[in-house]
Structure 1
Amino acid sequence: MGFHTFPIERADKLEDPSRYRFCSREELLEMLGLDSDAVVADLGSGTGFYSRDVAPFVDTLYAVDVQEAMHEYHREAGLLENVELVTAGVDSLPFDDDELDGAFSTMTHHEYATDETMVELARVIRPDGRLVTVDWSGDGTGDDGPDIDERFNVSDVVAHLEDADFTVERIHNRPETLAVVARR
């Protein structure tokens, strides 16, 4: 799989509104199903494209990315008051056990998915909390997103989550992308 980071020199591409054809703000919010007092993390937040969409609907949003340069871009694009930038890998999140009400990743699962990261997510998401994974599908055409050999298919993502004791609630297997809603 890929396990790479998005090239900072292409960060402008992450701000392209055409990304909504793969996951809209409304779809993401509905899958998360969070209360207004929720604490949530955007895993692989990049420039903050989806962080800015979710933040107005929660109490605290942690925008997690391994690249400080992405956080700089996020600051320049506009940092909402309830957003905290966190420079960390998904394998070593600086959160207490059960701290998060939920977490989501949009088009980044293929960059971080390992047994260790799934265990780490199970550690920081509270019991009954949701994890929403939207990513490029290994069953896709490859016309958009990373190469097919860098992607997972739905059964891979489900296995990652179930192996870490998440319960998969919903699966959306679409032409180019997948979306999986799981509960801890």
Structure 2
Amino acid sequence: MGFHTFDIDRADALEDESRYRHLSAEELLAVLRPHPEMTVADLGSGTGFYTDDVAPHVGHLYAVDVQEAMHDIYREKGFPETVETVVADVASLPFDDGALDAAFSTMTYHEFAGEASLAELSRVLRPGGRFVVVDWTATGAGTAGPPTDERYSVGEAASALENAGFSVDRAESRTETFLCVASV
């Protein structure tokens, strides 16, 4: 699967509230289980659509994206004071070992999935830290999101996480997406 990023010229689509049909803010919060002392990272944060849902519930949230232009759009929109933008690839995160209590990825796992990224994520999560993934499934129709040949199935994602030392607590397939909740 090839690496790609979301087209910055289509960034306004990342603010479309119909995205909640794939993952509601309430469901994300329920599986992430945030609290005010947590330090969390949104991997592939884009324009901060889901970042904004989590930020009020944590002490510090890193909005991580490989495209500075996405952060520029997020800055124009305005973001909560608990948010700090970080330009980085998931395979090379600028955090200390065990610096994060949790991380989440919404519709971006297919953009960074790989051994190096999962090993890096395992490094920066504290022992017991959670990783929540909701992404487009390879078994979906492909009417939204990336082409199906650029996606992973829930089984592939769960296996990759287990191979990287994660314990998969929940893995479920949906119509167009999958959900994995794992911990280190």
| Structure 2 SS opposite 1:91 | helix
Q: Tell me the equivalent position of 1:81.
A: 81
User: What is the RMSD computed on CA atoms of the aligned residues?
Assistant: 0.6
Q: Which residue of 2 aligns with 1:97?
A: 97
> Which residue is 2:116 aligned to?
116
1-side partners of 2:167 and 2:55: how far apart? 25
Matches within 5 A, 1:55-70: 55-70=55-70
Which residue is equivalent to 1:27?
A: 27
* Structure 2 gap segments, 5+ residues each: none
Supply the distance in 2 between the matched residues of 1:18 and 1:83 (Cα, whole angstroms): 24
2:161, 2:168 within 8 Å by CA — same for their partners in 1? yes
Q: Which amino acid aligns with 1:15?
A: E
Q: Extract unaligned runs of 5+ from structure 1.
A: none
CA distance in 2, matches of 1:53, 1:172: 22
Residue 146 (structure 1) aligns with: 146
**Size of the alignment, in residue pairs?**
184
> How far apart in 1 are the matches of 2:112 and 2:152?
11
CA displacement, residues 111-155 of structure 1 (integer Å, 9 cap, x when unaligned): 000100000000000000100000000011111111100100011
Secondary structure of the 1:62 match is: strand
**1:27-76 superposed Cα distances (whole Å, 9 cap, x missing partner):** 00111112221000000000000000100000000000000000000101
> Residue 2 of structure 1 contacts residue 151 of structure 1 at CA under 8 Å; is this kept in 2?
no
Task: Give the Cα–Cα distance (whole angstroms) in 2 for the partners of residues 77 and 98 of structure 1.
Answer: 31
What CA distance in whole angstroms lies between the structure 2 residues aligned with 1:99 and 1:55?
Answer: 17
What TM-score do the two structures reach when normalised by structure 1? 0.99
TM-score by length of 2: 0.99
Secondary structure of residue in 2 paired with 1:64: strand
Q: CA–CA distance in 2 between the matches of 1:117 and 1:5?
A: 15
* Equivalent position of 2:171 in the other structure: 171
Q: How many angstroms apart in 2 are the aligned matches of 1:132 and 1:115? A: 17
In structure 1, C-alpha distance between the alignment counterparts of 2:160 and 2:133, rounded to whole Å:
11
SS in 2 for 1:170: strand
Q: 3-state DSSP class of the match of 2:91?
A: coil
- What's 2:18 paired with? 18
The residue number in structure 1 matching 2:182 is: 182
Between the aligned residues of both structures, percent identity stands at 58
Code of the aligned partner of 2:22: F
Equivalent pair of 2:137/2:152 in contact (CA under 8 Å): yes
Q: CA deviation at 1:159?
A: 1.2
1:19 and 1:62 mapped to 2: Cα distance?
A: 21
1:133 lines up with 2:129 in the alignment: no
Q: Is structure 2 residue 178 aligned with structure 1 residue 159?
A: no
Q: Is the 8 A contact 2:34 2:54 kept in 1?
A: no
Displacement of 1:2: 3.7
